[in-house]
Amino acid sequence: MSRTNNRRRFIKKLSASSMIFGGALFSSCGSLKKATNKEYKKPLVISTWNNHEANQMAWDILNSGGAILDAIEKGIHIPENNPNDTSVGYGGRPDRDGFVTLDACMMDHLGNAGSVTFMSGFKNPISVARKVMEETPHVILSGIGAEEFAINQGFKRENLLTSDSEKALEEWKVKSKYAPVINSERHDTIGMIAIDRQGNLSGGCSTSGLAYKMRGRVGDSPIIGAGLFVDNDIGAATATGLGELVLKTLGTFLVVEFMRSGLTPQEACKRAVLRIADKYGGKDNQVGFIAIAKNGDYGGYSLQKGFQYIVHNSDKGVLFNSASFYS
Ligand code: GLY
């Protein structure tokens, strides 16, 4: 469907319950949901999907006084190390040529950021991304450069392609049809954002990207402002789903900017999803955003139903079914 048709459909859908006014969207209840001065419970950790174990690990570290970056890094290691998690780290599905290539990034409360893209052979790209942030003058290292850097930093090279992934690739090759699945395995990228007791925000994001992607493809997850963005004065956001849609709208930067303009994290995530729906339709794709505001408020929103996010602001995590644009 053409973009013009997409836009017509989008406006038609909105006109039933909303009006577009001066470029801003006003919901049927009459006004945008503005953030208040209320302070919410801290610390707080949120992850995309039902990454319960990862979120619990991060919460335990953060709540017991550990550093926020350690909490996020150790939390993200859980899906990265799990061979049964087919969209992150070890066991991640390969590209169409059989290579498992990983993307990850981290960003802290000082605005420091580090990222690795198109990196093969290391189970924990989130840790290499953290080293890029802490040990280099750069933000992104890619491909062979990222791998050489990882070796120099003491990371061990390993085979990430499991026999299960090899088998799945052979099955995929029968039709060789590239068609990203909505809510693939009900879990793709892990994006994790957190706020500590002092109100400082940080985040991390890690993925093997889309199964059977073209060799060299990099998604949104390692790109600051797309898969993850943190502005310690305002809030933090992270994304999951079809990276191309998030890249083309700089989705998490947009979420944080919507919070800067006074929207709650929930409303800001919704507005970023509406931007995608407006520009690209996205009817056959999934994108989900989660966000935390500086006051500890949080929220999430997705294009399609089925997106979930897990929240810890006490010892027991709570799993949310995200509200969505398409029902
Ligand atoms: N959101 C993960 C990717 O598109 O690579």
At 107-143, the pLDDT tens digits run 999 999 999 999 999 999 999 999 999 999 999 999 9
pLDDT score at 19: 31
Please check whether residue 25 lies inside any domain of the structure.
Answer: no
Pocket test for ligand 1, best of 206, 242, 303 (most atoms within 8 A of CB): 242
Whole-angstrom Cα distance, residue 8 to residue 27?
18
pLDDT at 18 over 60: no
Q: Measured between alpha carbons, how far is residue 307 from residues 12, 199, 263 in Å?
A: 24, 27, 21
User: What are the Cα distances from residue 50, in Å, to 109, 132, 196, 198, 251?
Assistant: 25, 28, 21, 27, 21
The DSSP annotation for 171-191 comes to HHHHH----PPTTGGG---EE
Q: What tens digit of pLDDT does each residue of 270-282 get?
A: 999 999 999 999 9
Q: What is d(CA 97, CA 173) in angstroms, rounded to the nearest whole number?
A: 10
Q: Does the annotation mark 189 as catalytic?
A: yes
User: Considering the domain boundaries, does residue 27 fall inside one?
Assistant: no
Position 36 scores a pLDDT of 82
Torsion sign across C-alpha atoms 221, 286, 72, 113: positive
Which pLDDT does position 34 carry in this prediction?
79
Residues 6 or more apart from 255 whose CB is under 8 A from it? 229, 235, 237, 265, 268, 269, 271, 272, 289, 291
pLDDT, position 32? 63
For residue 218, the ligand 1 atom closest to its alpha carbon is 5
Q: Which residues line ligand 1 (CB under 6 A)?
A: 188-189, 207, 209-210, 219-221, 240-243
Tell me how far the alpha carbon of residue 193 lies from the centroid of ligand 1, in angstroms.
Answer: 17
Ligand 1 center to residue 125 CA distance, Å? 14
Amino acid at 68: I
List the domain range (segments joined by +) for residue 159. Answer: 41-326
Residue reference for tokens 């953060």 = 62
**Considering 101, 162, 189, 207, which one is annotated as catalytic?**
189
The confidence score (pLDDT) of residue 236 equals 98
Whether residue 6 lies inside any domain: the answer is no
* Buried/exposed code over 116-127 (b: 16+ C-beta within 10 A; e: otherwise): bbbbbbbbbbbb
Q: Does residue 140 form part of some domain? A: yes
Q: Is the pLDDT of residue 258 over 80?
A: yes
* Cβ atoms of residues 125 and 80 within 8 Å: yes
Residue 206 lies in a domain: yes
Binned at pLDDT 50, 70 and 90, residue 20 comes out as very low
Q: For residue 279, tell me if it sits in a domain.
A: yes
The CATH code of the domain that includes 99 is: 3.60.20.30
Residue 8 reports pLDDT greater than 60: no
pLDDT at 1: 45
Q: Is 64 exposed, middle or buried (CB count within 10 Å of its CB: 0-12, 13-18, 19+)?
A: exposed
* 16: in domain: no
Of residues 204, 245, 17, 5, the one with CA closest to residue 115: 204
pLDDT digits (tens, 9 = 90+) for 292-319: 999 999 999 999 999 999 999 999 999 9
Domain count, the chain: 1
